[in-house]
């Protein structure tokens, strides 16, 4: 990179806000995925004008520019695939305004997801999108990836809760999209930019909808001796017109991993559990709890527990939301997938995932948003071994291919990024992809903003760069 880029960034932001030494950049070549890509420098803005200045410098020297939230993403979307300037928004982390009467808040992109709900909890409000990473992931990252979470089934994903955006285009122009009004006239540009994975603009301000806390909440744990019984229960619940606030499933292997770590009270001798939640008016919740429990028993649930109080409820959710951390104790690396299928295909798909794991010689745990068919199979492997890495990628690709055969999609909430770009032709025709490229090029004509993402490239997953071994270790 031209040394003048560093000089100009330091003049704009101050020397303490620019990293460029190799040892400073190591952290920023990773996110939560199996991908690796190192930027040439990292620049921390504090204001929208700082972001405009960074964009102008990138244009002046024609270097790539990539926005980054907390780095919890699982598709490599916030990695600098072609080097250049990485822009973390961690210092733009203020809640700018809370309008309780109109149930909305305006925040900077570096605000942590869970902090919004904490800030408005005393007002009887919360921010509904709740990815498992919500205690770390930021609103800006959630907007970029259109993040979901366990409560997506009833409340929708991030785009359903964004009213307006302030963005800096790749030209350096600052524009506002959408409106604080609930129904903004004209084209849905918010909907276009939310989920665009940082390829259209850098988001500098977000106005979100807040949701009233429900009058009552009930959390159920249904315990099954077969995976098929659990998956068929999900299909039947939705077929009966019951829409729980959340419907999560963990298979037996994942349950044992979670219980050893969190001690959430999950039974370790079962094949699967469903973690279900219903909320709303008290009388309706009582009836819906009974209805859901009846369907679970109809499909041979050996036990249906209802959390007795908020402490027990919080512990069950702690087990679900810390599942990936629990699995991390058991393997040097794991690869989390994000396929989507119709709910009716859950039994067949889980059987096929187990068959694919056996074929490639991997243990695969399953934990996912069963209510909306968003699967998260977890492939355990050692990324330091190139042969294992390649087999893990092949395993993931075969799982995603089967999801598409079942009428599903390659991603539900993690995004395409640099992980699944090569799989896009499995789902979209070349005409489809060209239309998407034309949309991107309208806003990002020079291609400097987050290049090498979403659209197919010649490189594969992880660029097949094997992690270094620990000092003193040797390859088998």
C-alpha distances (whole Å) from 274 to each of 87, 142, 235, 387 are 39, 26, 12, 35
Dump the DSSP string for 144-208. HHT---TTHHHH--GGGGEEEEEEE-TTS-EEEEE-SSSS--S--HHHHHTTSTTSS-EEEEEEE
The DSSP-derived string for 55-117 is HHHHHHHT--EEEESSS--SSSTTS-TT-SEEEE-TT---EEEEETTTTEEEE-TTSBHHHHH
The 3-state DSSP class for residue 239 equals: helix
pTM, rounded to two decimals: 0.93
Is the pLDDT reported for residue 473 higher than 60? no
Place of tokens 């039974």: 267
Structure token digits, residue 229: 């019984």
The percent of residues in the chain predicted with pLDDT above 70, rounded, is: 96
pLDDT at 472: 38
Question: Residue 55: is its pLDDT beyond 60?
Answer: yes
Tokens representing 396 are 């993931």
Residues 373, 407: Cα–Cα separation, whole Å: 11
Residue 450 and residue 86: Cα distance in Å, rounded? 9
pLDDT of 462 over the 80 cut: no
Residue 476: band (very low, low, confident or very high) from pLDDT cuts 50, 70, 90: very low
Alpha-carbon distance values, 276 to 5, 222, 232, 242 (Å): 52, 8, 14, 12
Q: How far apart are CA 250 and CA 243, in angstroms?
A: 19
Residue 457's pLDDT is 84
Domains 95-212 and 331-415 fall in the same CATH topology = no
Q: How confident is the model at residue 471 (pLDDT cuts 50, 70, 90)?
A: very low
**Is 38 strand, coil or helix?**
coil
Residue whose C-alpha is closest to residue 158's, from 123, 193, 202: 193
Fold of 331-415: Alpha-Beta Plaits (3.30.70)
Instruction: Pull the structure tokens for residue 107.
Output: 């925040």
* Chosen CATH of 95-212 out of 3.30.230.10, 3.40.640.10, 3.30.465.10, 3.40.50.300: 3.30.465.10
| Average pLDDT value for residue range 14-25 | 97
Q: Quote the mean pLDDT of the chain.
A: 94
What is the pairing mode between strands 41-43 and 85-88? parallel
Asked if 373 contacts 345 with a C-beta cutoff of 8 angstroms, the reply is yes
The domain limits of the chain are 95-212, 216-324, 331-415
Q: Which range is least confidently modeled, 77-81, 365-369, 455-459?
A: 455-459
Query: pLDDT at position 459, please?
Result: 61
- Residue 30 pLDDT greater than 50, yes or no: yes
pLDDT the model gives residue 460: 52
Cα–Cα distance for residue pair 379/2, rounded to 1 Å: 40
Closest CA to 144 of 413, 366, 374, 403: 413
**Strand duo 18-19 + 95-99: pairing:** unpaired
CATH 2.30.110.10 fits 216-324, yes or no: no
* pLDDT at position 470 over 50: no
3-state secondary structure of 250: strand
389-436 pLDDT per residue, tens: 999 999 999 999 999 999 999 999 999 999 999 999 999 999 999 999
Q: What's residue 1's pLDDT? A: 86
Per-residue pLDDT, 461: 60
Residue that is written with structure tokens 């405009």 in the block: 52
Q: What is the spatial distance between Cα 336 and Cα 308, in angstroms, rounded to a whole number?
A: 32
Question: pLDDT tens digits, residue range 212-253?
Answer: 999 999 999 999 999 999 999 999 999 999 999 999 999 999
- Tens of pLDDT, residues 357-383: 999 999 999 999 999 999 999 999 999
Q: What is the pLDDT of residue 463?
A: 54
Q: What is d(CA 287, CA 291) in angstroms, rounded to the nearest whole number?
A: 6
CA 224 from chain centre, in angstroms, equals 28
Give the pLDDT score at 82. Answer: 97
Give the tens place of pLDDT for each residue, 254-274.
999 999 999 999 999 999 999
Name the least confident of 306-310, 322-326, 463-467.
463-467
Q: How far apart are CA 347 and CA 325, in angstroms?
A: 26
From residue 362, how far is each of 320, 331, 389 by CA, in Å?
22, 11, 11
Structure tokens at 316: 């069950």
Predicted pLDDT of residue 183: 80
Is residue 465 over pLDDT 50?
Answer: no
Residue 438 has pLDDT above 70, yes or no: yes
> Which residues, in sequence order, are CB contacts of 103 under 8 Å at separation 6+?
125, 209, 210, 211, 212
């Amino acid at each position: 990179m031209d040394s003048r880029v560093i000089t100009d960034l330091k003049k704009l932001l101050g020397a303490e806000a620019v990293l460029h030494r190799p040892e400073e950049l190591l952290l920023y070549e990773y996110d939560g995925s199996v991908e690796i890509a190192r930027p040439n420098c990292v620049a921390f803005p504090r204001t929208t004008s700082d972001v405009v200045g960074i964009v102008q410098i990138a244009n002046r020297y024609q270097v790539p520019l990539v926005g980054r939230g907390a780095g919890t993403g699982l598709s490599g979307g916030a990695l600098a695939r072609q080097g250049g300037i990485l822009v973390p928004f961690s210092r733009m982390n203020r809640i700018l305004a809370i309008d309780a009467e109109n149930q909305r808040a305006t925040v900077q992109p570096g605000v942590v997801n869970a902090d919004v709900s904490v800030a408005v909890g005393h007002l009887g409000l919360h921010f509904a999108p709740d990815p498992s990473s919500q205690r770390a992931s930021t609103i800006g990252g959630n907007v970029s990836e259109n993040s979901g979470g366990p409560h997506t089934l009833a409340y929708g994903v991030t785009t359903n809760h964004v009213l307006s955006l302030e963005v800096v285009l790749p030209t350096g122009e600052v524009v506002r999209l959408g409106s604080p009004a609930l129904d903004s006239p004209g084209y849905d540009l918010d909907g276009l930019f939310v989920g665009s994975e940082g390829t259209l603009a850098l988001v500098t301000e977000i106005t979100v909808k807040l949701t009233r806390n429900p009058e009552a909440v009930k959390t159920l744990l249904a315990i099954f001796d077969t995976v098929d019984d659990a998956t068929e229960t999900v299909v039947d619940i939705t077929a009966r017109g019951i829409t729980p606030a959340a419907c999560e499933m963990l298979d037996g292997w994942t349950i044992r991993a979670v219980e050893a770590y969190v001690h959430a009270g999950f039974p370790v001798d079962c094949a699967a559990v469903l973690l279900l939640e219903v909320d709303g008016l008290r009388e309706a919740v009582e009836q819906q709890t009974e209805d859901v429990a009846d369907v679970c028993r109809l499909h041979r649930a050996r036990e249906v527990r209802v959390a007795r109080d908020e402490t027990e409820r919080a512990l069950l959710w702690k087990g679900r939301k810390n599942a990936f951390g629990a699995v991390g104790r058991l393997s040097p690396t794991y690869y989390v997938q994000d396929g989507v299928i119709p709910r009716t295909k859950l039994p067949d798909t889980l059987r096929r995932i187990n068959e694919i794991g056996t074929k490639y010689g991997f243990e695969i745990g399953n934990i996912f948003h069963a209510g909306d068919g968003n699967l998260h199979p977890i492939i355990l492997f050692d990324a330091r071994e190139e042969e294992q890495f390649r087999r893990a990628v092949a395993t993931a690709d075969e799982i995603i291919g089967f999801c598409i055969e079942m009428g599903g999609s390659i991603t539900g909430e993690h995004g395409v990024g640099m992980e699944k770009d090569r799989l896009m032709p499995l789902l979209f025709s070349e005409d489809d992809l060209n239309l998407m490229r034309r949309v991107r090029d309208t806003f990002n004509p020079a291609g400097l903003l987050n290049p090498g993402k979403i659209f197919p490239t010649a490189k594969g997953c992880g660029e097949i760069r094997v992690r270094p071994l620990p000092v003193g270790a040797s390859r088998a």
